[in-house]
Amino acid sequence: MPGKRNVEADDETIKEVLQKKNTVKRLRGNGDFRSEECIEYLKECDICCTNPPFSLFASLFSLLVKYVNAEYPLRNKKAESLIPADMRFPDILMKRDAAHLLQLILEKICAGNAIVPVSGYRSLKEQSDIWNDSRRENGEDFTRKYVALPNHSEHQTGLAIDLGSNEEEIDFICPDFPYDGICDAFRKAAPDYGFIERYTKDKEAITGIAHEPWHFRYVGYPHSKIMQEKGLSLEEYTHFMKAHSEDKKYHFAQSHGAEIEVYYVPAEDDNTLIEIPENCIHQIYGNNVDGFVVTIWNKV
Ligand SMILES: [Zn+2]
């Protein structure tokens, strides 16, 4: 805020600053957050408020990740992309975009204090400590069932979160997250924001992990939505996508009429060339096995 660095921004302070001359400026262009003008503001700003259409979320987040804090390089890779999953619990971290979307789900379902994060990002050392502590306290069988081996935990990616119903006693390894009430409202809304319930009862044989009603994984939209609609686990979705190469794209229709194309490109030995139509919103990510999944948002 101009002239008010390190001052708590209560309503009075904001009002006072806004009333000064030249504090509020009109944009020259149309205000598209992708425009050069807006990007210049984004590079400078401490807080950014915008309201993009849902279909442009991915584009907005890639801009935010690219430019926010550009002038304040953080000291290590971990801190670069991890932020608190929930401001009430500053030690529980997640990747930046996943954390933002998690908050949007909690707001959408009006969770208030009814749902709390229990465990987010874990370093290799933290995962090893949890494994060893659990083995000591709960025994080998229980630990193999509910705690992933070090280097095999989704929590090490910063994309997984364990959530608990906010009760007096919360179990760190198996928090209560029932299939009714506010917890189930979260479960149902999650795929609209890129999250899936990762280890369901009916997929135990496929995931190789026991049923964990509390563990959610960010996979990104629309993949989460396709998985929900088709009843696929992440393993099955990876397999499903491989059947949709560039000449056999999967078409996902959004409720408001926009269409998203998703397809698989196998990785080549050195460089994989992926051609994307000009001026389209797209996302490319590795499937962690043998190729890339390309997502293209088509305009309505
Ligand atoms: Zn978990």
Rounded to the nearest angstrom, the distance between the alpha carbon of 270 and the centre of ligand 1 is: 34
Catalytic residue, candidates 154, 197, 212, 261? 212
Please list all protein residues whose beta carbon sits less than 5 angstroms from ligand 1, which is an ion. Answer: 162, 215
Of the candidates 258, 206, 247, 245, the one whose C-alpha atom is nearest the C-alpha of residue 227 is 206
How high is the pLDDT of residue 71?
43
Collapse the DSSP code of 219 into the 3-class scheme (helix H, G, I; strand E, B; otherwise coil) and give the result: coil
Residues 116 and 147 both lie in one domain: yes
CB atoms within 10 A of CB 141: 9
Residues 94 and 139 both lie in one domain: yes
Rounded to the nearest angstrom, the distance between the alpha carbon of 224 and the centre of ligand 1 is: 17
Could you tell me the CATH number of the domain that includes residue 258? 3.30.200.180
Rounded to the nearest angstrom, the distance between the alpha carbon of 200 and the centre of ligand 1 is: 12
Per-residue pLDDT of the chain (300 residues; tens, 9 = 90+): 555 555 666 777 777 767 776 666 777 777 777 777 777 776 666 555 666 665 565 666 555 555 544 444 433 444 458 999 999 999 999 999 999 999 999 999 999 999 999 999 999 999 999 999 999 999 999 998 889 888 889 999 999 999 999 999 999 999 999 999 999 999 999 999 999 999 999 999 999 889 999 999 999 999 999 999 999 999 999 999 999 998 999 999 887 777 899 999 988 877 777 877 777 778 887 776 778 899 998 765
- 235 in any annotated domain: no
- 237 in any annotated domain: no
- 236 in any annotated domain: no
Rounded to the nearest angstrom, the distance between the alpha carbon of 36 and the centre of ligand 1 is: 40
- 238 in any annotated domain: no
Residues 19 and 161 both lie in one domain: no
Round to whole Å and give the CA distance between 189 and 143: 30
Residues 122 and 217 both lie in one domain: yes
How high is the pLDDT of residue 180?
97
Could you tell me the CATH number of the domain that includes residue 179? 3.30.1380.10
How high is the pLDDT of residue 21?
65
User: Do residues 102 and 111 lie in contact, with contact meaning Cβ atoms separated by under 8 Å?
Assistant: no
Residue 218 identity: Y
Rounded to the nearest angstrom, the distance between the alpha carbon of 161 and the centre of ligand 1 is: 6
- 262 in any annotated domain: yes
Round to whole Å and give the CA distance between 257 and 262: 16
DSSP state of 168: S
- 200 in any annotated domain: yes
Round to whole Å and give the CA distance between 261 and 222: 10
Residues 290 and 198 both lie in one domain: no
Give the structural domain span for 69: 1-73
Rounded to the nearest angstrom, the distance between the alpha carbon of 123 and the centre of ligand 1 is: 13
Residue 197: active-site member: no
Residues 112 and 61 both lie in one domain: no
Rounded to the nearest angstrom, the distance between the alpha carbon of 282 and the centre of ligand 1 is: 29
CB atoms within 10 A of CB 123: 13
DSSP state of 234: H
Of the candidates 265, 266, 232, 250, the one whose C-alpha atom is nearest the C-alpha of residue 298 is 250
Rounded to the nearest angstrom, the distance between the alpha carbon of 118 and the centre of ligand 1 is: 9
How high is the pLDDT of residue 291?
83
End-to-end CA distance of the chain: 38
Domain end position, chosen among 73, 99, 129:
73
How high is the pLDDT of residue 77?
45
Domain end position, chosen among 179, 201, 229:
229
Number of domains in the chain: 3
Collapse the DSSP code of 179 into the 3-class scheme (helix H, G, I; strand E, B; otherwise coil) and give the result: coil
Beta bridge partners of 212: 199
